[in-house]
Amino acid sequence: MNLAHNLLCASGWWGRRVERELLPWGLEDCDLGDDVLEIGPGFGKTTRLLAARLPRLTVVELEPRYCRRLAAELGSTVAVVQGDATELPFPDARFTAVVCFTMLHHVPTLALQDRVFAEVARVLRPGGTFAGTDSIGAGALFKLIHIGDVLRPVEPDALPARLEAAGLRGASVARGGRSFRFRVEKAPA
C-alpha cells in the first residue's frame, strides 16, 4: 500500500469505522463457528475485534511486515501466517468460516480473485460460511488513495456467479453506501 493508504488504514478514524459500522454490518446475523480464517487483515483493525469474540482465529497476510506487526501485537491469541490467499497453506475443510474485509480489491486480476474464491471453498468445512465486505471502487478519493497500489474493484452484481463458480452456494450481496457485503456457504456434505 502507498503512504496515504497506510496512514488511512492505521488511523483512529478507520478503526472506529471498522468497529462501529463495517464489522457489525459485514457479519450481521452470521454464525462463524469456532475456527475462523481471516484473509488479508493488513493492519489488523478487524483482526483485533474478531480475536476478542472468537474462540480460534487464524489470519493469512501476504505482506511480511504486517505479519510481524500482528504477531507482536496479538501474541498467542491469533495464529498469524504469512502467505498468499491464492494458495492457502491449510488443509481442505479446515475452517468453519472464512472472512475478509476491504481486501478483495487488492487482488490484482479477476483470475486471481477467482483463485482466492476457489481456495476459500477448499479450506471451508461443509456448511461453512464465507463472509465479508469490500469497497465499491467508483469514487475519486478511493482511486486517489490507491495510486501506486493494486486496485481491481470487485463488481458486486457479478460476485454471486463468481462465488458459485468456485463451488460455493447461496450467495447474497447487499450494498450500503460505498461498500458491499457478501455471504455464501459451502454445501453441506
Q: Say if residues 180 and 132 touch (Cβ distance below 8 Å).
A: no
Q: What is the pLDDT of residues 51-64, one digit of tens each?
A: 999 999 999 999 99
At CB < 8 A and 24+ separation, what contacts does 18-22 make? 18/45, 18/46, 18/49, 18/101, 19/45, 19/49, 22/46, 22/101, 22/102, 22/133, 22/179
- Per the confidence metrics, is the pTM higher than 0.95? no
Q: What is the pLDDT of residues 97-118, one digit of tens each?
A: 999 999 999 999 999 999 999 9
Domain boundaries, the chain: 3-186
Per CATH, the number for 3-186 is 3.40.50.150
**pLDDT band for position 122 (50/70/90)?**
very high
